[in-house]
Structure 1
Amino acid sequence: MSLLVHITNLPIDTEKVINLVKTDSSGAVNVFIGTVRNSTKNKEVVGLEFESYESMAVKEIDKIITEAKNRWPINEMAIYHRTGMLDIGDVPVVIAVSTPHRQQGFEACQFAIDTLKETVPIWKKEIFADGEEWVSAHP
């Protein structure tokens, strides 16, 4: 498995992910850090649970990185996603991308999170104070 794509049930070390993509030729490192928030659709969220089809998720994330590198002059890109039970404030996903210029990095980061939510087999269950619900991660 690539160091730049990782599915884990352990907390994600955001600094480690950022350091994986830093290069001397990069003028920018853009980072998306997804966090578990305490509400959605006017309902109190107490946590999230993520499950994945890990081998397929890794393949799909590799495709995202390949496509991003075809669209933008990316030096390095890393995508880490957490599975299992997460509490409010926990980090389920980190995407880091290094590019020569900032705009390219912003665009590549946005592409990566949007495509991840649409194509990668990772499922999310929202846990509320009064129940739970599996939800589509697709926007």
Structure 2
Amino acid sequence: KSSASADRSGAIATFTGRVRARDGSEDDRTTHLAFEKYEGVADERMDTIAAELTAREGVFDVRMHHRTGVIEAGEDIVFVVVLAGHRREAFRAVEDGIDRLKDEVPIFKKETTEAEEFWVHQRE
């Protein structure tokens, strides 16, 4: 709302990702996740994605943030916020933003459950 383009915006769309306590009913309970990022590269990549999304017609500002360190079940992990002229542009940019962040930004996740701990990328 404090963006220089706020006067022209009719929509703010957000995405907040959080730690699930369970992925499925049969899964062990997740106690926490630990995130590490490739320093210097991860933030630069998020800035590039945000700039590319902001360059779209009708999108005025994009902010992205991914927490690192240990994050307990139920806590917030990642945020994407888009200021746009209309809801359609805002929602598309939010969805593309989180998809690209997950695909392109070097952030690594270790999951700790009641039974074990493992790096998630090794399980996929």
TM-score, structure 1 normalization: 0.79
Q: Helix, strand or coil: the match of 2:7?
A: coil
CA distance in 1, matches of 2:56, 2:100: 14
Structure 1 contact 72–108 (Cα < 8 Å) conserved: no
Hey, what does 2:7 align to over in structure 1?
A: 24
| Alignment deviations for residues 75-124 of structure 1 (CA, whole Å, 9 cap, x no partner) | 11110110000111111111100000001000000000000000101111
Hey, what does 1:104 align to over in structure 2?
A: 89
The structure with more radius of gyration: 2
Specify every segment of 5 or more residues in structure 2 that has no aligned partner in the other structure, as ranges.
none
Q: Counterparts of 1:1-139 in structure 2 under 5 Å?
A: 19=1, 23-41=6-24, 42-136=27-121
TM-score, structure 2 normalization: 0.88
CA distance in 1, matches of 2:56, 2:48: 12
RMSD, matched Cα: 1.7
CA distance in 1, matches of 2:2, 2:33: 27
